[in-house]
């Protein structure tokens, strides 16, 4: 799915959040086209309570429907006090994106080698883009 397929939905976002056209256009140019790679990291900056999270979440929700070209998971790193918890949350959120009805959690080991293997297994067979968001 390309950007023109979502024009009406994006126009609705721009109507819902006036004066944010530049932010939506920038995010969609980075993330929204399925044939171009996305940047490995994207950092949003601005004053507190200026709408960064709302605009990003709205954009990702729009790009993620109806054909799930972009899937996203929010992982709050402030809640993680160990690498094990962070690795566990990442792997299980990716697995939830792939199989939302699956109830069992994946047991994640707390070393980086096993984490990479488990992320690779979780991403196997997924189509589109998978975006992990870490609000700080």
Tens of pLDDT, residue by residue over 53-66, are: 888 888 888 877 65
Mean pLDDT check: name the lowest of 9-23, 59-73, 119-133: 59-73
Check residue 1 and give its pLDDT: 44
Q: Are residues 80 and 33 in the same domain?
A: no
Segment 2-21 shows an average pLDDT of 75
Q: pLDDT band for 41, please (50, 70, 90 cuts).
A: confident
Query: Do residues 74 and 129 share a domain?
Result: yes
**pLDDT tens per residue across span 58-109:** 888 887 765 546 778 888 877 788 888 888 888 888 888 777 666 677 777 7
- Looking at the fold, whether 6 and 54 belong to one and the same domain comes out as yes
121, 87: one domain: yes
12 and 62 part of one domain? yes
Q: Same domain, yes or no, for 53 and 77?
A: no
Q: What range defines the domain where residue 86 resides?
A: 70-136
Would you say residue 4 has pLDDT above 50? no
Q: Are residues 1 and 63 in the same domain?
A: yes
2 vs 24, more confident: 24
In this structure, are 61 and 75 located in the same domain?
Answer: no
Exposure string for 99-121, b = 16+ CB within 10 A, e = fewer: eeeeeeeeebeeeeeebeebbee
- Please tell me whether residues 60 and 78 are part of one structural domain: no
Which residues, including other chains, have CB under 8 Å from residue 50's CB and lie 6 or more apart?
Answer: none
Q: For 63-68, which contacts have Cβ atoms below 8 Å and span 24 or more sequence positions?
A: 63/6, 63/28, 63/31, 63/32, 65/9, 67/1, 67/128, 68/127, 68/128
Would you state the pLDDT for residue 3?
46
> Does 82 lie in the same domain as 44?
no
Query: Which of 39, 67, 95 delimits the end of a domain?
Result: 67
């Amino acid at each position: 799915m390309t950007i023109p397929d979502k024009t009406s939905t994006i126009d609705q976002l721009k109507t819902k959040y006036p004066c944010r056209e530049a932010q939506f256009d920038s995010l969609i140019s980075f993330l929204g086209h399925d044939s171009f790679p996305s940047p490995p990291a994207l950092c949003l900056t601005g004053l507190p309570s200026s709408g960064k999270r709302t605009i990003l979440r709205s954009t990702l929700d729009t790009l993620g429907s109806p054909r799930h070209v972009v899937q996203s998971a929010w992982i709050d790193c402030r809640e993680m006090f160990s690498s094990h918890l962070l690795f566990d949350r990442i792997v299980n959120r990716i697995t939830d994106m792939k199989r939302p009805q699956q109830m069992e959690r994946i047991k994640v080991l707390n070393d980086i080698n096993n984490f990479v293997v488990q992320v690779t297994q979780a991403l196997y067979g997924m189509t589109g883009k998978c975006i992990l968001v870490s609000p700080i």
